[in-house]
Structure 1
Amino acid sequence: MPAYFERIDASSFRPTSAVEGAWSTEEQHIAPSLGLIAHAVEKEHAERRGGDLQLGRISYDILGTIPIERVDLDIRILRPGRTIELVEAVLSQAGRAAVIARAWFMQTADTRALAGSALPAMPGRDELDPWAMGDHWPGGAVRSVDFHRGQRQPGHAWGWLRPRVPLLEGERIGPIARLLGMVDFANGLTLRLAPTEVAFPNVDLTCHLFAVPAGEWIGFDTTVSIGPTGLGLTDTVLHDERGPVGTVQQILTVRPLHP
């Protein structure tokens, strides 16, 4: 399977069949695009100021579906600063904005003496069974990732994920962009209802990180909640093999397919 994207020029990219979506194989799965945006934002930051700040939060607003065609990225600095900086990136297609992302970069400091988290640990990968997400969802994107999964109950599951293909052909991808290219898979990791019975796409995704992830596998401790008026929330604690590294939240529009 090819990389998710090929670079056309400094700000344009061509998606491959590996991005085929789970709701429709004629559209892109949003997960690789979120990783591509993070990679572009980190690359611009490193080239402009040497990468002296660290990415602590990135939020994405997803404005609509994205066909499997060329995408363009525009990056601007909303709040420059010596120790804190806010960057905006817009992913567009044929002049139409499809995703707007805002990333906070913050200064680094030696806080090893203070490091720790009360977030609960999750089972290791060897304690969970391999899982074929492609048995439940269509598209090339879900088949491009290795999964180990254990479902505690409908709406709560643990999973370890590892992409089998690179995010961008021929380029080194940092650990944060690599993680952010996987986080949207959380919304299909534990189902309260089958996707043939109800649609529940997310219109946003916000990731907070308090540590840089290490290793190939990323752990997901994911819960899905659905309210009584058509809204839902997917909430995930992210782990590497050392422990928790951050969180992800996704707001869902919940739409029964067979009223």
Structure 2
Amino acid sequence: MSDLPDAFYLPAGADRYEPTRATESPWDSGSQHGGPPTALLAHAIDATAGPGLRLARISVDFLGPIPRREVRIEVSPVKPGRLVSLSEARMVVDGRTAVTARAWHIATGPPPPVTGERIAPPAPPETVTSPEPAPELEGWGYGEAVEWRFSEGGHGTPGLARVWTRVRVPLVAGEDMTGLARTLVVADSANGLSAVLPFHEWLSIPPSMTTTLLRVPEGEWVHMDCRTHLAPDGIGLAQATLCDSEGHLGEVAQPLLVRER
């Protein structure tokens, strides 16, 4: 495994960031994987949230390949509010909006008398044998920037995947990694982890990704239970249930364009 950069992004001035090799897409070394941009947009939106509000859902739209060049982040309110608030962020590269995100923040309050059905946490990552790095991860920045511990499936293995993930570098150099960023860096990997068709023969492109979070993630590890479903007309759906060591965190959904290469 090659040396890792200091972070996914280096600060480059007001609202500007330089993406490092850790953001590198598996398809094009000059483009970014969708996970780090998602986390950076959520990080920027979260910084504008009022007191007592917590990010509950983020929906991200990828408007094309995301160049691995300096980005500018713009954040604007859509629906300010004391109990619920909707904000929008844009990642601009070379004067073009490459990614947009909308996030709902919801006010926290006193605990309810019941919490609903509880999803037990998976077996802890320490009990999962960490295999040698898969050959397809070597030299791929994003793949190397995350530690993957599979209890089912694996890189290059079609179908259901269950995996503990741990992000190896901070989101932004010089800043602490938050649980929110740690989760969103990996959430957009659901379709790649659970693809049911071979990558070298089929395209499986998610133009959008939505993550809904039940609570603030705890600890360094995030577990993803991923699966992909395909319709007979070339559209698919990738989903993932997110957990940490305490149990259920949230859900991921990605619509897919599925085409033979």
TM-score (structure 2 length as normaliser):
0.90
Report the equivalent of 1:43: 47
Alignment correspondent of 1:145: 146
Please list the CA deviations of residues 69-100 of structure 1 after superposition, one character each: whole Å capped at 9, or x if unmatched.
Answer: 01111111000111111000011111111111
Q: 1:130 is matched with which residue?
A: 130
Q: What is the count of residue pairs matched by the alignment?
A: 253
Unaligned runs of 5+ in 1: none
DSSP 3-state at the match of 1:21: coil
Q: Which moved more, 1:62-71 or 1:165-174?
A: 165-174
Report what 2:250 is aligned to. Answer: 246
Residue number in structure 2 paired with 1:71: 71
Shift in Å, 1:230 = 1.4
Q: Secondary structure at the match of 2:88?
A: strand
TM-score by length of 1: 0.91
Q: Among residues 185, 202, 218, which one is paired with 1:214 in the alignment?
A: 218
How far residue 33 of structure 1 moved from its aligned partner, in angstroms, is 0.8
Between the two proteins, what is the percent identity of the paired residues?
A: 34
Listed as ranges, the matches of 1:161-172 within 5 Å are 161-172=165-176
Q: Do 1:237 and 1:247's aligned partners in 2 also have CA atoms closer than 8 Å?
A: yes
Letter in 2 for 1:139: W
Counterpart Cα distance in 1 of 2:107 and 2:149: 35
**CA deviations over 1:206-242 (Å, ceiling 9, x no partner):** 0111111101000001111112111111100000011
1:106 aligned residue: 106
SS at 1:101 equivalent: strand
Query: What CA RMSD, in Å, does the superposition of the two structures yield over aligned residues?
Result: 1.9
Question: What SS does the aligned partner of 1:181 have?
Answer: helix
**CA–CA distance in structure 2, aligned partners of residues 149 and 77 of structure 1:** 39
Q: How big is each residue's C-alpha offset from its partner over 1:12-36, in whole Å with a ceiling of 9 and x where there is no partner?
A: 1101111110122221111111111
Aligned position for 1:53? 53
**Cα shift readout 1:38-67 (whole Å, capped 9, x = no counterpart):** 11111122xxx3x32111111001111011
Shift of 1:156: 1.2
- How far 1:135 moved relative to its partner? 2.6
**Residues 5 and 169 in structure 1, CA contact (< 8 A), matched pair in contact too:** yes
Q: Quote the offset at 1:118 in angstroms.
A: 4.4
1:5 Cα deviation after fit:
0.3
Residue 256 to residue 208, structure 1, CA distance change in 2 (3 Å): same
Distance 1:134 1:73 in 2: 34
Partner of residue 36, structure 2: 32
**Partners in 1 of 2:241 and 2:55 — Cα distance?**
17
Retained in 2: the 8 A contact 1:39–1:173? no
CA contact (8 A) 1:151 1:190 kept: no
Q: CA deviation at 1:112?
A: 5.5
**Which structure 1 residue ranges, 4+ long, deviate > 6 Å from structure 2?**
none
Match of 2:195 among 188, 191, 197: 191
Question: Quick check: 1:26–1:68 contact (8 Å CA) kept in 2?
Answer: yes
Instruction: Find the residue that maps to 1:91 and give its secondary structure.
Output: strand
Partner Cα separation in structure 2 for residue 201 and residue 146 of structure 1: 23
Q: Summarize the Cα distance change of 1:187–1:29 in structure 2 as closer, same or farther, 3 Å threshold.
A: same
Partner of 1:19: 23
Of 238-247 and 144-153, more deviation after overlay is shown by 144-153
Distance 1:104 1:78 in 2: 10
User: Which secondary structure does the structure 1 equivalent of 2:12 belong to?
Assistant: strand
Which residue identity is paired with 1:244? H
